[in-house]
C-alpha cells in the first residue's frame, strides 16, 4: 500500500473511513524525518501490515492533525484504531514503529 499524504482537510475523514491508521508526523527541516521516510514506505508495502493505512502529515502545516495526536517532537508516530488515538511516540527507530504496527493487528 502506498503512503498517503494527509492534511487537516482530510485527516478526520481518513480516520473515519479507515479502521487502522498509522501517521508519521514530519517537518520539511527535520533530518531524522527524512531518514525514516524510506523505512516507513517499505513498511507500508509489507504484507503483514496489509489493512493498515499509512499516512504522512506535515506537523507544521496541519495543526488540527498534530493536536489530535499530542505531537511533541519529530518525527512522531501515532496509531489510531476506529478513529481513536491508541498510541504515540517520538521516535526514529524502526523497531518502535513495528511494535506500534503490531499493536494495530
Q: Which of 33, 55, 97, 101 is catalytic?
A: 33
Q: With contact defined as beta carbons under 8 Å apart, do 4 and 48 qualify?
A: no
CA separation for the pair 79, 60 (Å, rounded): 19
Determine whether 33 is an active site residue: yes
CA separation for the pair 11, 65 (Å, rounded): 6
Q: Which of 21, 30, 69, 97 is catalytic?
A: 30
Determine whether 30 is an active site residue: yes
Residue 87 bridge partners (DSSP): 79
Supply the residues annotated as catalytic: 30, 33
Amino acid at each position: 500500500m502506498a503512503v498517503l499524504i494527509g492534511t487537516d482537510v482530510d485527516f478526520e475523514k481518513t480516520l473515519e473511513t479507515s479502521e487502522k491508521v498509522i501517521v508519521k508526523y514530519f517537518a520539511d527541516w527535520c533530518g531524522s524525518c527524512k531518514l525514516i521516510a524510506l523505512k516507513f514506505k517499505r513498511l507500508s508495502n509489507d504484507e503483514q501490515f496489509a489493512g493498515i493505512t499509512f499516512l504522512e502529515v506535515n506537523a507544521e502545516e496541519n495543526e488540527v492533525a498534530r493536536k489530535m495526536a499530542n505531537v511533541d517532537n519529530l518525527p512522531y508516530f501515532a496509531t489510531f484504531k476506529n478513529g481513536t488515538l491508541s498510541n504515540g511516540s517520538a521516535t526514529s527507530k524502526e523497531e518502535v514503529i513495528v511494535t506500534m504496527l503490531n499493536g494495530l493487528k
